[in-house]
Structure 1
Amino acid sequence: MAAFQIPDAFSQQMKAYFGSETYAVFEKALDADTKTSIRLNPFKPCEAFSNLPSVAWNPEGRVLEKRPIFTLDPLFHAGAYYVQESSSMFLGHILESVCAPKDGIYLDLSAAPGGKATLLGSYLGDEGFLVANEVIKARANILKENIIKWGLGNTMVTQNDPEHFGELHGFFDLVLVDAPCSGEGMFRKDPEARDEWSLDHVQLCALRQERIMDQAAALVKAGGYLVYSTCTFNERENEEIVKYVVSEFAYEPVRIPLLPEWNIIESKVETDEGQFFGYRFFPHLVPGEGLFVTVLKRSEDAEVLEPRRVKDFKHPFLKSVSNAEAALIQSQVDLPENSIFYKLQESVFWLNSNFRQHFEFLSRYLNIKYFGVELGQFSKSQLIPSHEWAMSIFPEPGFPTLDLDIKQALQFLRREEFSLTGDLPEGWILITYANLPLGWIKNLGNRINNYYPKEWRIRMQGGEDA
């Protein structure tokens, strides 16, 4: 790490903030080992992490003694947990503190790779609906994979620039902007970020953040919440952005309760519209990495955009499923009563019917990468199950289940050939590890076909002795 020196201008900036004595402690923390943490999926419970210490501000967070090789853990691939930096889990405390509506429509504007999006999805559960957006195609694909593994079915993954949301002002109950930034908070976790940092880069990031917030702040409906976060420390990308937002839009301050032992630093932002609040996480004070977050509430007299009713849904790619097809799906899949189905190409997708109007309205403006739960494709009136269905929290009735040991599970995840003992029925079999689904095989009698997605298969060897 010594090859990546702390920039002088950054040192001067932080000395001015802390003072020389505290700065020395802060600088030493930047060269210390990082603490690895995970956040459990409450909808896919497992016992593996029950004895680990919790993250102070998030009961679903766990702090690990050392960083394992997650690629070789089948529970990771099953969506039992998400590897997330503990400071970012503070979002859960924010949601609970403001009593954000669990039946609301949320937007995570810069959602990849999916840490905060899966946290929002867990909070919403089966009551709300999340739009998880990412502008960069490669990152949007990673986001899609992580949303599928999380398996809740309450999320729509989109790939759009913030400007594409221009027709949706006042539509969302909560908008999260985890803004691209200069990355000062990553100096410990990613020392290469030190070489990329400069005062010019800070200024460029701040101007970009203002452009993003000029779009994002308008998307929150009256009485809704705007959450803005960065992984950087400087005021130009944090407090100054708060001042910019409240000078352009009608927002009210929100103060989040803290416990003293958390060592989270509250900052007060003085504006012409009153005092607002921000929250900083410093690596010498908390087990996580650097973070800034603020919460604002939209004025009650701001705009509210309700989705317009459309009698006949028309979309160039999505098609509504007929009543006869819906009845056929329901006869083969154990789904909630509030279900609606769509077809994309030949695949059938499930969606919570409570959000039909919102989804169809959003689909007019956004580039959809994934939504709900992809159930599979029909062949001669029989549903061929998809991997996405296997990864969802929906039950898979009518299919036999085979729970594998660690060696077999890794062979399955690598799409290697492996032998199975016992009298297995022919046809589709749901593969599980620790009783959590991993995917499908099909027993043809003389051979077994592995249907784990080729693009997801792991290539790393080892792990069988874990």
Structure 2
Amino acid sequence: MSAIQLPKDFESQMQILLGKKEYELFLNAIDKPARTSIRLNTSKPFKLNWSASQIPWTVTGYFLEERPSFTLDPIFHAGGYYVQEASSMFIDHILKSLEIPKGIYLDLAAAPGGKSTLLSTYLGNEGLLVANEVIQSRAQILKENVIKWGLGNTLVTNNDPDHFYPLEGFFDLVLVDAPCSGEGMFRKDPQAREEWSVDHVTLCASRQKRIMDQAGALVKGGGYLIYSTCTFNEQENEDMIRFLTDEFAFEPVRIALEESWGIVESSVQTEDGKFYGYRFFPHLVEGEGFFITILKRPDTASSQEPGRIKDFKHAVLKSVSEKDAEALELELGFDGSGKYYTLNDSYFRIQREFYRYFEKLSQVLSLRYFGVELGKKQKNEWIPSHEWALSNLPKTQFSSLELTQSQALEFLRKNDFQIEDIPLGWVLIKYQGLPLGWIKNLGNRINNYYPKEWRIRI
């Protein structure tokens, strides 16, 4: 019998959901330590030196046998992997098993960025992701994680769901990992148990309906809506399927599962058919509590395509002419597919084929970051940004310097480190081949350009 103190109403709810016998297994499971898991950034390959086992529903996810100090791992700061809960990586299986078309995606409640970086990887150069966070401080964390991931296909925005009203029918996929009562986090977060109550569940469900009442309309015809929570109760899960199918036209989507995964499929019968949900219980899967459902908009539903904006006007952004953009691509050694904008004299690059979508989005939403910030150009010299350093864009015109682990940690602390024969000028600092940032050798001194607010303090 577990010694964990849980709210009585929660115990009653779970006994109804699982049955008394299985509830005992559930109690024993949440009394055990949670496993640490990471998802690899396939665009930044490195050798994984920890003892690890693959997460069954994604080829890039791994359980670690022990939790290392990520703060003291330079590869973590280089964006080589993301520390993410295993259950939520099931989204990777959904995307690939359904072969969801790539295009314009939205992660509506995106911070701290685990699901956004997963979507970003899936899209690659074939799509554009809007990663939105309503809370400003969390939007900053999201921005940092998107920059570290380095793919340059993401816009970070800081908006309430209501602000997306002009974008109805705009997105090929909308993901909402909704704020919830957090029942699935009871093992990892004891505070979640203390905050739980029946009233809190009802409040969360009401908040979720407000969000989904907007989110459901944002999916274009033929597009997909993914809704997830880290909670178990039906009020925040299956009832939300009922709400969505009452409010909008959706078609059911069923996901192929391996029995060995231990994921429990549930179903909801509606006038439009049987819809499916997938629940992760910690006594059945190696992961925390999670629920997810997938719905598809009918092809006949309305879709919005951005028109061509002849003269792009924005309060702070300026579009770089096609002629100048082509010259920049050639100068910087890029592949010719870039579209450029300036903000406070700093250059930003996105994929040219998505510029119409970007310009539409930029006129509706509050941007916190987009594409890749390259830095500033003074006369004929580039002052490269940290964002460019961490991106996957080429940096062939700069010298680079490979550091040992101890040297890399000193760089990440913004401390001086001793090394001979450093080239003059801007130098890209690397660890195991992955860029960490810039230094500039002025001859008589070396300046460390790692961002002050990112430096490690241990």
Distance 1:395 1:29 in 2: 47
Which residue identity does 1:59 align to in structure 2?
Answer: V
Q: Which amino acid aligns with 2:451?
A: P
For 2:179, the equivalent position in structure 1 comes to: 180
1:73-84 map, 5 Å? 73-84=73-84
Aligned mates of 1:50, 1:335 — CA distance in 2: 35
Report the equivalent of 1:56. Answer: 56
**1:19 aligns to what?**
19
Render the CA deviation track for 1:410-459: whole Å, top value 9, x for unaligned.
000000111112x2221000000011000000011121100000010011
Task: Judge conservation of contact 1:163–1:215 (CA < 8 Å) in 2.
Answer: yes
SS at match of 2:34: coil
Task: Tell me, yes or no, if the aligned pair for 2:220 and 2:302 is still in contact at 8 Å.
Answer: yes
Q: Is residue 277 from structure 1 mapped to residue 276 from structure 2 by the alignment?
A: yes
Is the counterpart of residue 458 in structure 1 residue 456 in structure 2? Answer: yes
Q: What is the SS of the residue equivalent to 2:220?
A: strand
Contact 1:5 1:195 in 2 (8 A): no
Question: Are 1:49 and 1:62, in contact at CA under 8 Å, matched by a contact in 2?
Answer: no
What's the counterpart of residue 164 of structure 2?
A: 165
Cα offset, 1:327, TM superposition? 4.5
Match in the other structure for 2:332: 333
Alignment deviations for residues 250-300 of structure 1 (CA, whole Å, 9 cap, x no partner): 000000000000000000112222210000000111111000000000011
TM-score when normalising by structure 1: 0.96
Match of 2:410 in 1: 411
What corresponds to 1:350 in structure 2? 349
**Please, what TM-score do these two structures have when normalized by structure 2?**
0.98
For 1:307, the equivalent position in structure 2 comes to 306
The root-mean-square deviation of aligned C-alpha atoms, in Å, is 1.3
In the alignment, is residue 439 of structure 1 matched against residue 437 of structure 2?
A: yes
Partner Cα distance (2:279, 2:3) in 1: 27
Q: SS in structure 2 opposite 1:418?
A: coil
Check whether the contact 2:329–2:335 (CA below 8 A) recurs between aligned residues: no
Verify the 8 A CA contact 2:104 2:128 in the aligned structure 1: yes
Q: Distance in 1 between matches of 2:262 and 2:84?
A: 19
Distance 1:281 1:324, change over 3 A: same
Does the CA contact (< 8 Å) of 2:158 and 2:368 recur in 1?
A: yes
Deviation at 1:322, TM superposition (A): 3.2
SS in 2 for 1:364: helix
Note the C-alpha offset of 1:125.
0.6
Q: Is the 8 A contact 2:106 2:174 kept in 1?
A: yes
| 1:53–1:62 contact (8 Å) kept in structure 2 | yes
CA 1:3 to 1:17, structure 2 compared with 1: closer, same or farther past 3 Å?
closer
Q: Is the 8 A contact 1:387 1:452 kept in 2?
A: yes
CA distance in 1, matches of 2:356, 2:201: 41
Query: 5+ unaligned residues in a row in structure 2: which ranges?
Result: none
Give the 4+ runs in structure 1 shifted more than 3 A.
322-325
Q: How does 1:133-144 map to 2 (within 5 A)?
A: 133-144=132-143
CA distance in 2, matches of 1:330, 1:340: 9
Other-structure match for 1:256: 255
| Residue pair 1:374, 1:389 contacting (<8 A) in 2 also | yes
1:237 aligned onto 2:236:
yes
SS of structure 1 residue aligned to 2:156: strand
List per-residue Cα deviations over 1:346-404 (Å, max 9, x = no partner): 11000100001000011110000000000010111321110000000111112111111
Question: What 5-or-longer segments of structure 1 have no aligned partner?
Answer: 461-466
Secondary structure in structure 2 of the residue aligned to 1:285: coil
Equivalents in 2 of 1:386, 1:3: separation in Å? 52
Shift of 1:50: 8.3
What percentage of residue pairs aligned between the two structures are identical? 60
Following superposition, the deviation at residue 17 of structure 1 comes to 1.2
Contact 2:329 2:336 in 1 (8 A): no
How many Å separate the matches in 1 of 2:69 and 2:140?
A: 22
Counterpart-to-counterpart distance in 2, 1:333 and 1:166 = 38
8 A contact 1:266–1:277 mirrored in 2 = yes
Structure 2 Cα separation of the partners of residues 343 and 206 of structure 1: 42
Distance 1:327 1:17 in 2: 60
Instruction: Classify 1:3/1:367 alpha carbon distance in 2 versus 1 (closer, same or farther; 3 Å).
Output: farther
CA distance in 1, matches of 2:408, 2:387: 18
